[in-house]
Amino acid sequence: MTLTISVITAVSNRVDTIGQTLASVQAQTWSHVEHIVIDGASTDGTLRVLEAQRNRLAVLVSEPDGGIYDALNKGFACASGDVVGVMHSDDFYAHERVLEKVASAFADSTVDAVYGDLDYVARADTDHVVRRWRSGYCSRARLRRGWMPPHPTLYLRRRVIEEWGLFDISFRIAADYDVILRYLWQGKIRAHYIPEVLVKMRVGGESNRSLAHIVRKSR
């Protein structure tokens, strides 16, 4: 059976970047992709961009939400793919074969999660790499010391999310760390590392407001 990947994008007033995000997903060589976009009632023209692409989206919802993690939770609730991941509205894939490589890793039925590396890029010049986040291999010892994979590169079997829950929206910028600990530490799932850049993230997103925060997260 062909593996389907659900990609969740939460967006709010990102008319300048959402087009590249959509194009990045659509350019993937892996064709079995369900792209779900949750828009937080944008007022800057973002919704016009999304509406123009509606026929290429599996789900498009536009309504007020409680922030990025609330929006992502709505997206997860809509997902029907075998595997689920996130593509933020400021981000884009490093190349066209990212999801193909993710799907290949999940061909091993014992693998529950797949992740890779991430580059932070300048907002105005995405060819300029500000910082490189090289994940390395997951271990309980590293988790104990505060290690985490970059969540925009993390893909999970949907059943893992169903078993261990969604983002805790009471956290403002640490909900990704909380949920990843639940999956990797409490769930003791088997994670596969792809040692290459999968995603490029513009500096200045919801969870990366300063370089100092980036440094603390990626140590």
Distant-in-sequence, close-in-space partners of 145: CB < 8 Å, separation ≥ 6: none
Residue 134, pLDDT score: 96
CA 66 to chain centre: 18
Residue 211, pLDDT score: 41
Q: What average pLDDT is seen over the chain?
A: 92
Structure-token pair, residue 134 = 């090289």
pTM (predicted TM-score): 0.91
Least confident of 7-21, 90-104, 160-174, 191-205: 160-174
Answer whether residue 129 shows pLDDT above 90.
Answer: yes
DSSP H or E segment with residue 76: helix 68-78
Query: Of residues 16 and 177, which shows the higher confidence score?
Result: 16
Segment 127-149 mean pLDDT: 92
Answer whether residue 89 shows pLDDT above 80.
Answer: yes
The letter for the amino acid at 35 is H
Give the confidence band of 214 by pLDDT, cuts at 50, 70, 90. Answer: very low
Helix (H, G, I), strand (E, B) or coil at 157: strand
Choose among 55, 40, 64, 132: nearest CA to 94.
132
Residue 58, pLDDT score: 98
Answer whether residue 212 shows pLDDT above 50.
Answer: no
Distant-in-sequence, close-in-space partners of 36: CB < 8 Å, separation ≥ 6: 6, 7, 8, 9, 57, 58, 59, 75, 78, 79
Q: How are beta strands 5-11 and 33-39 bridged, if at all?
A: parallel
Encode pLDDT of 34-49 as tens digits. Answer: 999 999 999 999 999 9
Query: Of residues 61 and 183, which shows the higher confidence score?
Result: 61
Residue 116 to residue 152: CA distance in whole angstroms = 9
| All structural domains of the chain | 5-218 (3.90.550.10)
Answer whether residue 118 shows pLDDT above 90.
Answer: yes
In contact, 105 and 192? CB cutoff 8 Å? yes
**Rounded to 5°, angle at Cα 131 from 216 and 84:** 80
Residue 57 to residue 38: CA distance in whole angstroms = 11
Residue 172, pLDDT score: 72
> Above pLDDT 70, what percent of the chain?
93
Segment 156-181 mean pLDDT: 88
Residue 208, pLDDT score: 60
Choose among 183, 205, 182, 166: nearest CA to 72.
166
Partners of 59 in beta bridges? 36
Q: Could you tell me the CA-to-CA distances from 26 to 96, 152, 156, 174 in Å, in that order?
A: 9, 17, 20, 29
Query: Of residues 115 and 143, which shows the higher confidence score?
Result: 115
Choose among 124, 77, 88: nearest CA to 206.
88
Give the confidence band of 80 by pLDDT, cuts at 50, 70, 90. Answer: very high
Segment 27-40 mean pLDDT: 98
